[in-house]
Amino acid sequence: MLKQLHQLQKLQNAQKHLEQEKLHSETYCQMTQIKAEYDADKCRWQELAAMRGELLQNRKEYAEALTETGDKLQKEQDAMYDGSTSTVKVLSAREAQMNALTEKMESLKAQDEEAVQHLQQIEEETAELKRKIEEECQSFEKLKVDYKGICQEYAQKEAEVAAQIDELLPAIDKEELAWFEANRQRFGGSPVAYLSPEHVCDGCHTIVTPVLYKRTVSGQRTFCEKCGRALFTDGE
């Protein structure tokens, strides 16, 4: 019975290996990498969009502030020459105010020019991102088609293994099968081990004692002294 459980164990491990092999295929890894790059680029695209919106709002505010400051400066200039400035003290105050307004306008213009430069950089980076994202989408779709073919191939292999399992299960005692399923996780999917004529456990590759080997050959239920797996021999 352990020999049949060992066959079942090999088939189940083959199923697991096929699934892992499929997920670690070069095509799947490439798809995963492209998806990660796409997600990062998309996140950056959203960041750039937010920055662009903020800069456009800043430019709008700069324009309004420039208009308001320009109107104030014009009023001060008009007052300088319309005869309403009668004393040196008032004249000095107006000159100081005009200088302050002029400095403010220069500062606003400088900030606006800086915003224009940042917007240009954002537009360039956004255009490059758009090109890159389009390439990523095209590459991903091509790989997706290839991976679909790979999945079909593995599905056929998995179906063949599943059919062998279905054929084997009815021949296994229910109690033995219950023990097998209860101990699968403990031994990483392999609770049964073949004991070779050289006394080697194929579960942990340890040489067992002659006494244990003789007991196993005689048909007794034995377990590896090192790994604890149930042992069987060719004579079972």
Q: What is the CATH number of the domain that holds 34?
A: 1.10.287.1700
Residue 144 lies in a domain: yes
Q: For 10-39, what is the mean pLDDT?
A: 95
pLDDT at 79: 80
Above pLDDT 90, what percent of the chain? Answer: 89
Residue 76 lies in a domain: yes
Residue 196 lies in a domain: no
Residue 137 lies in a domain: yes
pTM: 0.67
Residue 173 lies in a domain: no
Which of 18-22, 64-68, 88-92, 232-236 reaches the highest mean pLDDT? 64-68
Q: pLDDT tens-digit profile of 59-101?
A: 999 999 999 999 999 988 888 777 666 677 888 888 899 999 9
Task: Transcribe the chain into DSSP letters.
Answer: -HHHHHHHHHHHHHHHHHHHHHHTSHHHHHHHHHHHHHHHHHHHHHHHHHHHHHHHHHHHHHHHHHHHHHHHHHHHHHHHHSS---SHHHHHHHHHHHHHHHHHHHHHHHHHHHHHHHHHHHHHHHHHHHHHHHHHHHHHHHHHHHHHHHHHHHHHHHHHHHHHHHHHGGGS-HHHHHHHHHHHTTTTT--EEEB-TTSBBTTT-PBPPHHHHHHHHTT--EE-TTT--EEE-TT-
pLDDT bracket for residue 124 (50, 70, 90) = very high
Residue 199 lies in a domain: no
Q: For 160-177, what is the mean pLDDT?
A: 95
Dmax (CA) of the chain: 127
Residue 236, pLDDT > 70, answer no
Q: For 192-204, what is the mean pLDDT?
A: 95
Residue 189 lies in a domain: no
Residue 5 lies in a domain: no
Higher pLDDT, 84 or 214: 214
What domain range includes position 137? 23-163
Structure tokens at 113: 């020019």
Q: For the chain, what is the domain count?
A: 1
Residue 27, pLDDT > 80, answer yes
Higher pLDDT, 85 or 160: 160
